[in-house]
Structure 1
Amino acid sequence: MSRKEPDHLNLLFDMGELASIITSGSDIEAFLTGAGELVAKHLRAHVCSIYLFDSRSKDLVLKATRGLKPEAVNRVRMLPGEGLVGRCFSQDQVLRVGNARTSPGFKYFDNAGEEAFNSFLCVPIRRGVVKIGVLVVQHREMDHFTLLDERALRTAATQLAGAIENARLLMALAPEPADADKDADTISNKFPAFIKGKSDGYGLASGTIRPSRRKRKAILFEADTPNITYSLADFQTAVEKTIDELKALQDKFAASLPESESLIFTAHFMMLKDKNFTGKMKTLIEQGTSPVSAIQQVTLKYINVFSDNPNAYMQEKAVDVEDLGIRLLSHLKAVHTPKAPDRGTIFVTQDIYPSDMMKLTADGIRGIVLVGGGVTSHVAILARSLSIPLIIADDPLFLDLPDTTRLLLDAGQGNIYINPDDNTLSIFKSKQEAEDRAKNREMQPATYTLDNRRIRLLANINLLSEIHLARELKAEGIGLYRTEFPFLIRSGFPSEDEQYLIYKGLFDKTEPGTVTTVRTLDAGGDKVIKHTDFIQEANPALGLRSIRFSLKYRQIFRTQIRAVLRAAHGKEKVRLMFPLISSIDEFLEAKQVMAECIRQMEQEGVPHKSDPEVGIMIELPSVLATIDEFAQLTDFFSIGTNDFIQYMLGADRGNKLVADHYIPYHPAVNRGIAKIVAAAIGHGIDVSVCGEMAHDPEHIPFLLGVGITTLSVAPKFLPRVQAAVMETSFSRASAYAHRLLAQTRVKDAAAVLKTGPGK
């Protein structure tokens, strides 16, 4: 039987109809219902439903319907990819089904009353590049909707998108349900059991979520517990327990991280002694104020004072006050609480500083989920050094999961399991045991390719505590010691003597006779030193960072060079490396500063090393044009592939919008690396790779094939790098590199990469 085609070849609605549904009605829900009725009328559909994406719960919610049961509104929910509606949203495509109930993936809801409707048609609702929901029509007849109906529904979604997006945003501003814990449990129950994140480390961690700073801060505003009275003696006990707790953390911290400050909780200890802080609390209690209120009043007063200060360093002190107030209140309330709440061992956060990492490590954190951020950030590097699995997840809902949620992190795969079952936990226990065995695998004292080409394996060191593992795994020296961490984790610039002790610890711990390469301060970019007055730059990656920072602040640069050379006195094979060099002039200027420091120490009679090898970390494409001249002036090259790729391709791997453009095997990157190596070999200087490519088995054959004979990696990667090298033939790697270098297109390079060098 033929039917009249709907009037929808251009705009589905006229302006009068749109204006009517937008201006009439008492609320947003009435507008959405009116929109559904209008679409159903024009398409002669029995049902029209509007699903909107909830950015808080990360699911699609039925917000209006004409034809289904009204009680289904706000109760029918689907995750992206779930059911036909979820598939339409996640795949961003129109779905037309003649018999929905027999269609694979159809999700039936008892409370919606869909059983009478067979034909199903849905289109995504978009506002620009943003997907905001799904528009659905249904009909009792099978195979009812046509290609013309598809076009009509697309048109309707386009016409309504602006108004619907405004409605969605206003709905999102509605207050959270009063029962926050119940809502959090609901979120946890319907959150997927598995989330794929990003990580460039490895390791497993399992535990409950540590309460967020926002949740922990709530104790500063809670009223006194009914029927519980705290005394002055209880307050003094809380102060003593807080002091003991901080001392224990301090001792643990100092023992494991010697390059940190000797007292990272200095501010806490000083406030505990201050008559205007704990002294004021005591006075208020003696005057009749409850201990809980006394701690809250004084703590919040100090937080406000520090937060209102225009100085960034003083603002940071507000966090110390907040932390101390929370600890005091927690210990006070524990006086009448038989069991302290579980603190949790997995930290979920949107941002984290290196100094925060240090305190968390001392406080028992086993894993971190970073909501947003980039895998090449220094926090990620520090996490690897501290053997803390860290995974970057892009889903803000992680921040709302209840503290009782158990997470299992597999950093090697970038996988996060939410409330894993016993079977999953058992599997990963076995995997952890296998990883431990692999980590403890006996390494060969020297590394050779299959055809007996000698390859040196060096270690990248961030913390002195890693040197023991590097020696245990038979690293042949330190190819990169990153000096910025003592700056990043302190509340002020370390003095020359403080730096001297750190660098002396480095040289004393390394194997005698092996090379030790110290990179000067690589500040700026994603390595912001909190206690400096760094100007907020529009593009910090292209701003005042690395050697530029050092040459601008000469006194900081001189202090560091003096400390390194003093610590290196009497040591062999010491190398000083300047990062992010962009020109020969810049290199000579940095080298001149070193010469001035040497002259000054000679005049002062200070023991020091006067003849270190001096080289550059190659990260900028600008050096390629004068690479032969650099090879004549320097003692060695080290290729920092992370930044080299980023600057060569103009793509920040930490930016998810351009992550697909960060391509290590890009023809320009391949040829750039080959040109650097050829210049080094031609002039008889050493060249190594110390970026992420050096520990990736997929890229190691190419590096060997272009002539790299030194790889420098984090200690934990040494076993797998040695295994990859020993499974590679240098002759085959050379032919493989030649094939890669011949490619001019990314897709062709990818095809060669996929084939590999063979055996």
Structure 2
Amino acid sequence: MNRKEPDHLNLLFDMGQLASIITSGSDIEAFLTGASELVAKHLQAHVCSIYLFDSRSKNLVLKATRGLKPEAVDRVRMLPGEGLVGQCFSQDQILRVGNARTSPGFKYFDNAGEEPFNSFLCVPIRRGVVKIGVLVVQRREMDHFTLLDERALRTAATQLAGAIENARLLMALASESADINEDADIISKELPVFIKGKPDGYGLAFGTIRPSRKKRKAILFEADASNITYSLADFQTAVEKTIDELKELQDKFAASLPESESLIFTAHFMMLKDKNFTGKMKALIEQGISPVAAIQQIVLKYIKIFSDNPNAYMQEKAVDVEDLGIRLLSHLKAVHTPKTPDRGTIFVTQDIYPSDMMKLTADGIRGIVLVGGGVTSHVTILARSLSIPLIIADDPVFIDLPDTTQLLLDAGQGNIYINPDENTRSIFKGKQEAEKRAKTREMQPATYTIDNRRIRLLANINLLSEIQLARELKVEGIGLYRTEFPFLIRSNFPSEDEQYLIYKGLFDKTEPGTVTTVRTLDAGGDKVIKHTDFIQEANPALGLRSIRFSLKHRHIFRAQIRAILRAAHGREKVRLMFPLISSIDEFLTAKQVMAQCIHQMEQEGVPHKNDPEVGMMVELPSVLATIDEFAQLADFFSIGTNDFIQYMLGADRGNELVAEHYISYHPAVNCGIAKIAAAAIRHDIDVSVCGEMAHDPDHIPFLIGVGITTLSVDPKFLPRVQATVMRTNFSRASAYARLLLKQTRVKDAAEVLKTGPGK
């Protein structure tokens, strides 16, 4: 049998194709039909069917098909475990059958029109750990489908899972109803001019306050006090404008943040298609209810249904409904009154998550004030990567500031100016222009100290969009690519193939011949990933995080390693790095998993990088006792000073109560870093520093003085770091480091640090 084999590297849909089937079509059923047609075309299948699990009837129901009889939709039903489809769902595994009709598990439906089709392949559709349905393809020929088709269909199910789950939930809610009443309380106060916050980022921002979630929600409860009469045509215009707005945000997102799930508004699009959502709004308007009241009534009904559900994932959907309702009402009222854009505003909030950051970026937010609480380290890092200044403020006054209030943020200092005068704004503008010049300062291609000591500068990369700036600044490679961000900012768990696409983007964007260091998943602690079985831990910093998480969840670890090595095929100077290693046993086990992945891909004939350098993050004091043994096993070290200081001193860097004990120049920290550097030098392996100390001008001379020759920093810090290195004398830095290492008291170390190495 002759068949055209698809390229094994082209297993993923183009995101434009997915966006097209989500944003086009009149309703949810049209989306599901479009999805089945897309998969059928992608796999050259004669049939593609989508079965969804109905939690009420406990049946798998045929909801869309391309190739079977249309009248079979909603009529073909089976229990989990019943038929090939039911077995696939209940056993949570792929089924590939060469001749389905002779299979003992096959269940025949006389109204489906399956008779001509023999080859059968099905995969579970999963949303994280939750099974939501089954995706099936069929062909007339026997024994048609291959292992390659299994991978392609599995990838298709993963990519479509988010949108399909939204469709399933909305279908399930079709008959639900609820009422809700709530009042909005907006307070105005006499305002101070200046408030000192905690610096938790970098950069400057000026703009008008974006109404808080509480204030924005008020539009969902307020009776329309205007004298404007809105029509059904106005409502339809608002729907169209909302769709256009979401499409624009989605397109911008896909272009600027390729590693994110660019289809972040799938739930919004599904609801806009749902006849039980916008359809019921339209019906209410036709009955004489005002468009404002119609939108409010249906939106609040859905918010109530989702909020009352005990499932955390379902509760999150309430936020999507709320956001969509606000957008619809804003566009409706903008038909007669111009809408005030969010673009260029400052967002004030009491909590924020990585996924929120992504949507705020799409909305063009200039800065963030986080009121009355801490923030996860990865939200801080993400804010820097997205160039969004962020400040933490304890004063609750910010929550109730009028929407017309202007804020000026200096995130580096933690300064917040409320309604700044012209002079303050002028000073701010000058500082902003100086920062811009510093970021774009021409850098030398190689970095040397005054006395010709070579120091290599690498970039820490969180988002692929940062690579362009790093290349413009002539960076010598990637010293740390944090792989957890695609996990944190996506609404579903990325499969091996989706990760492969992300990592391939990383290698494609980096300069050929330069080093690229990829750190495996640093999950846990304050970096909780959705759709995993994370549990609340009493002390998450000392819990199941980083390499411990990966080794406990081997399927996740193997999928990531395979994706990285597949993407690195044909590249030189590829480094794989394991985080938070605590023992030699742990490091060897991680290396063994990698070796197993390489062997497996060799057996499968999958192109991959089979000889990456393998190193480790040095972050725990436990490795110091056996640092020489580690240096014999690892190809390189990277010192993560943020965690190293935290664990060395037992001081949570995110806890303000012990912030004074988190001391980067503590004698124990200095001696630990020096010991790591000395071991690396003795065994002739590379050692770099990739934490905050690497870009701190006060610490760089000490690091150089103890023998560190590689610094890895966020791209925006590269010009400043190079300037610091180029005015450092290595001989003086060595003497300075020796002096600092002699200090046994914190206050004495502080005095030496203040004096510096001299010229």
- Give the TM-score taking structure 1 as reference length: 0.74
1:197 aligns with 2:200: no
Q: How many matched pairs?
A: 577
Q: Which residue of 2 aligns with 1:385?
A: 385
Q: 1:531-680 to 2 correspondence within 5 Å?
A: 531-680=531-680
Q: 1:427 to 1:572 in 2, by over 3 A?
A: same
Question: Structure 2: which 5+ residue stretches go unaligned?
Answer: 1-182
Q: Which residue of 2 aligns with 1:15?
A: none
Q: Which amino acid aligns with 1:530?
A: K
Is the Cα contact below 8 Å between 1:211 and 1:343 reproduced in 2? no
Is the Cα contact below 8 Å between 1:740 and 1:753 reproduced in 2? yes
Tell me how far 1:289 sits from its aligned partner: 2.3
Tell me how far 1:544 sits from its aligned partner: 1.1
Q: Which amino acid aligns with 2:731?
A: S
1:247 aligns with 2:243: no
Q: Which amino acid aligns with 1:619?
A: E
Q: Which amino acid aligns with 1:420?
A: P
Is the Cα contact below 8 Å between 1:187 and 1:401 reproduced in 2? no
Q: Which amino acid aligns with 1:514?
A: T
- Give deviations 1:584-603, integer Å, cap 9, x for gaps: 11111111111111111001
Q: Which amino acid aligns with 1:388?
A: I
SS in 2 for 1:658: helix
Tell me how far 1:481 sits from its aligned partner: 0.2
- Give the TM-score taking structure 2 as reference length: 0.74
Is the Cα contact below 8 Å between 1:344 and 1:403 reproduced in 2? no
- Give deviations 1:646-701, integer Å, cap 9, x for gaps: 01111112111100000000011011111111111111111000000000001111
Q: How far apart, in 2, do the equivalents of 1:293 and 1:599 lie? A: 62
Tell me how far 1:533 sits from its aligned partner: 3.4
Q: How far apart, in 2, do the equivalents of 1:179 and 1:378 lie? A: 32
Q: How far apart, in 2, do the equivalents of 1:579 and 1:329 lie? A: 47
Q: How far apart, in 2, do the equivalents of 1:583 and 1:289 lie? A: 68
Is the Cα contact below 8 Å between 1:199 and 1:375 reproduced in 2? no
Q: Which residue of 1 aligns with 2:756?
A: 756
1:449 aligns with 2:452: no
Is the Cα contact below 8 Å between 2:460 and 2:690 reproduced in 1? yes
Is the Cα contact below 8 Å between 2:454 and 2:709 reproduced in 1? yes
1:489 aligns with 2:489: yes
- Give deviations 1:270-306, integer Å, cap 9, x for gaps: 1100111111211222223222222112111111221
Q: Which residue of 2 aligns with 1:731?
A: 731
Q: Which amino acid aligns with 2:414?
A: G
Tell me how far 1:531 sits from its aligned partner: 3.2
Q: How far apart, in 1, do the equivalents of 2:755 and 2:376 lie? A: 27
1:460 aligns with 2:460: yes
Q: How far apart, in 1, do the equivalents of 2:544 and 2:297 lie? A: 42
1:212 aligns with 2:212: yes
Q: Which residue of 2 aligns with 1:330?
A: 330
Question: Structure 1: which 5+ residue stretches go unaligned?
Answer: 1-177
Q: How far apart, in 1, do the equivalents of 2:267 and 2:410 lie? A: 36
More deviation in 616-625 or 200-209?
Answer: 200-209
Tell me how far 1:339 sits from its aligned partner: 5.2
1:298 aligns with 2:301: no
Q: How far apart, in 2, do the equivalents of 1:250 and 1:650 lie? A: 43
Q: How far apart, in 1, do the equivalents of 2:610 and 2:184 lie? A: 68
- Give deviations 1:430-453, integer Å, cap 9, x for gaps: 111122222221111111111110
Q: 1:477 to 1:293 in 2, by over 3 A?
A: same
Tell me how far 1:536 sits from its aligned partner: 1.1
Tell me how far 1:356 sits from its aligned partner: 0.8
- Give deviations 1:537-588, integer Å, cap 9, x for gaps: 1111111111111111111111111100000001000000000111111111
Q: Which residue of 2 aligns with 1:279?
A: 279
Tell me how far 1:180 sits from its aligned partner: 6.3
Tell me how far 1:375 sits from its aligned partner: 6.8
Is the Cα contact below 8 Å between 2:206 and 2:366 reproduced in 1? yes
Q: Which amino acid aligns with 2:556?
A: I
Q: How far apart, in 2, do the equivalents of 1:373 and 1:613 lie? A: 41
- Give deviations 1:478-502, integer Å, cap 9, x for gaps: 0000011111111111111111111
SS in 1 for 2:230: coil
Identity of aligned residues (%): 88
More deviation in 373-382 or 229-238?
Answer: 373-382
Q: 1:575 to 1:733 in 2, by over 3 A?
A: same
1:519 aligns with 2:519: yes
Is the Cα contact below 8 Å between 2:200 and 2:392 reproduced in 1? no
Q: How far apart, in 1, do the equivalents of 2:184 and 2:284 lie? A: 34
Q: How far apart, in 2, do the equivalents of 1:586 and 1:501 lie? A: 28
Q: Which residue of 2 aligns with 1:187?
A: 190
Q: How far apart, in 2, do the equivalents of 1:342 and 1:643 lie? A: 36
Tell me how far 1:718 sits from its aligned partner: 0.3
Q: 1:341 to 1:733 in 2, by over 3 A?
A: closer
Q: Which residue of 2 aligns with 1:398?
A: 398
- Give deviations 1:728-748, integer Å, cap 9, x for gaps: 111111111111111111111
Tell me how far 1:346 sits from its aligned partner: 0.5
Is the Cα contact below 8 Å between 2:641 and 2:691 reproduced in 1? yes
Q: 1:442 to 1:226 in 2, by over 3 A?
A: closer
Q: 1:717 to 1:748 in 2, by over 3 A?
A: same
Is the Cα contact below 8 Å between 2:618 and 2:640 reproduced in 1? yes
Q: Which residue of 2 aligns with 1:309?
A: 309
- Give deviations 1:337-395, integer Å, cap 9, x for gaps: 24547766101112111111111111110111122455771111111111111122222
Q: How far apart, in 2, do the equivalents of 1:436 and 1:751 lie? A: 33
Tell me how far 1:187 sits from its aligned partner: 3.0
Q: How far apart, in 2, do the equivalents of 1:501 and 1:756 lie? A: 46
SS in 2 for 1:187: coil
Larger radius of gyration: 1
Tell me how far 1:226 sits from its aligned partner: 4.8
Q: 1:10-29 to 2 correspondence within 5 Å?
A: none
- Give deviations 1:414-438, integer Å, cap 9, x for gaps: 2111111001111111111122222
Q: Which amino acid aligns with 1:598?
A: I
Q: Which amino acid aligns with 2:328?
A: L
Task: Report the aligned-residue RMSD.
Answer: 1.6
Q: 1:437 to 1:340 in 2, by over 3 A?
A: closer
Q: How far apart, in 1, do the equivalents of 2:184 and 2:481 lie? A: 50
Is the Cα contact below 8 Å between 2:195 and 2:416 reproduced in 1? yes
Q: Which amino acid aligns with 1:287?
A: Q
SS in 1 for 2:465: helix
Q: Which residue of 1 aligns with 2:499?
A: 499
Q: 1:375 to 1:458 in 2, by over 3 A?
A: farther
1:747 aligns with 2:750: no
Is the Cα contact below 8 Å between 1:370 and 1:390 reproduced in 2? yes
Q: Which residue of 1 aligns with 2:264?
A: 264
SS in 2 for 1:684: coil
Q: How far apart, in 2, do the equivalents of 1:316 and 1:384 lie? A: 26
